[in-house]
């Protein structure tokens, strides 16, 4: 089974090939055909499973060759932190160029002017954190009416950080009937309310971490003083 067999655009598979990525991971096999067909996706699982390429390849295949009007991107990936947004962008950017799609990170702690200029020129894919995105919406530098695909990455972490009201505000501004893909390790903490309200008959996939072998693990709970944590952690890490 190759990425091409799953329906991924040929120019994208060529770039994957040059990076030595030939065989889809299980989450990619499970989600790509449905995601490329435009269905809503609910992915349960963690970093390391290959979910960035799972949603990234689907959205780039669907939007290949399209252009965005000034300040009106076509796809939005929401991430809880700037660091994750930049990691997602690092995966998407080299691939997106092969299908004439630009992408832009919109996140706090980075220059406003670069983000605003890119949005003004017209950028099809925006990878954003909720706070800076709301800020730029309020300042009228971006409009979400043309968003056809929204990805919520690490939705449980966004809930933990108190971003769900912002996430809901953002989703309410996207084009009705657009595709939504939500990835989360758990559905606690109101993530299920997001799923119920914003995903239509989502295709659900549980994604095991590629490298995890949970069957071989034993869990221990250590109760300790806060001040002992660093020492104990280093002792655990240093043992055979």
Rounded to the nearest whole angstrom, what is the least distance from the CB of residue 143 to ligand AMP in the complex? 29
Site for ligand AMP contains 39 (CB under 6 A)? no
> Which one of 51-59, 77-85, 93-101, 216-224 is the stretch in contact with ligand AMP (CB under 6 A)?
51-59
One symbol per residue from 53 to 82: x for binding ligand AMP (CB under 6 A), - otherwise; what is it? x-----------------------------
* Contact call for residue 25 and ligand AMP (CB under 6 A): yes
Query: Are 22 and 28 a contacting pair, CB within 8 Å?
Result: no
Among 24, 80, 130, 178, binds ligand AMP (CB under 6 A): 24
**Buried/exposed code over 27-56 (b: 16+ C-beta within 10 A; e: otherwise):** bbbbbbebbbeebbbbbbbbeebbbbbbbb
Asked if 50 touches ligand AMP (CB under 6 A), the answer is yes
Taking CA atoms, 135 is separated from 92, 114, 138, 166, 168, in Å, by 24, 15, 5, 11, 15
Size of the site for ligand AMP (CB under 6 A): 12
- Identified binder of ligand AMP from the candidate list 9, 13, 31, 52, rule CB under 6 A: 52
| 213: its two tokens | 């072998």
Does residue 48 touch ligand AMP according to CB under 6 A?
A: yes
Using only C-alpha atoms, the chain has a radius of gyration, in whole angstroms, of 19
- Minimum distance of ligand AMP from residue 109's CB (angstroms): 21
Among 11, 15, 21, 208, which residue interacts with ligand AMP (rule: CB under 6 A)? 21
Residue 152 β-bridge partners: 78, 182
For ligand AMP, the closer CB: 8 or 128: 8
**Cα(236)–Cα(234) distance, integer angstroms:** 5
Residue number, 85 or 144, with CB nearest to ligand AMP = 85
Q: Is 236 exposed, middle or buried (0-12, 13-18, 19+ CB in 10 A)?
A: exposed
Closest to 59 (Cα-Cα) out of 87, 82, 83, 37? 37
**How many residues are given for the chain?**
240
The correct pick among 17, 23, 114, 197 for binding ligand AMP (CB under 6 A) is: 23
Q: Which residues here bind ligand AMP, judged by CB under 6 A? A: 21, 23-25, 28, 47-53
């Amino acid at each position: 089974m190759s990425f091409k067999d799953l329906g991924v655009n040929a120019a994208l598979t060529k770039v994957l090939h040059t990076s030595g990525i030939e065989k889809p991971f299980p989450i990619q096999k499970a989600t790509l055909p449905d995601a490329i067909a435009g269905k809503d996706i609910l992915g349960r699982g963690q970093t390391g499973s290959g979910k960035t390429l799972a949603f990234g390849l689907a959205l780039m295949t669907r939007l290949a060759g399209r252009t965005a009007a000034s300040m009106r991107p076509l796809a939005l990936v929401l991430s809880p932190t700037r660091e994750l947004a930049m990691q997602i962008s690092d995966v998407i950017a080299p691939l997106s160029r092969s299908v004439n799609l630009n992408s832009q990170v919109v996140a706090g702690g980075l220059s406003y002017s670069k983000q605003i200029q890119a949005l003004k020129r017209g950028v099809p894919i925006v990878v954003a954190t909720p706070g800076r995105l709301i800020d730029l919406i309020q300042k009228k530098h971006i409009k979400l009416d043309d968003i056809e695909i929204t990805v919520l990455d690490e939705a449980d972490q966004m809930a933990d950080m108190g971003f769900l009201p912002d996430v809901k505000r953002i989703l309410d501004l996207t084009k009705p009937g657009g595709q939504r893909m939500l990835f989360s390790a758990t559905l606690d903490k109101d993530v299920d309310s997001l799923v119920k309200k914003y995903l239509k008959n989502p295709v659900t996939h549980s994604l095991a971490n590629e490298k995890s072998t949970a069957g071989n693990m034993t869990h221990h709970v250590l109760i300790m003083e806060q001040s002992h944590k660093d020492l104990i952690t280093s002792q655990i890490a240093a043992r055979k």
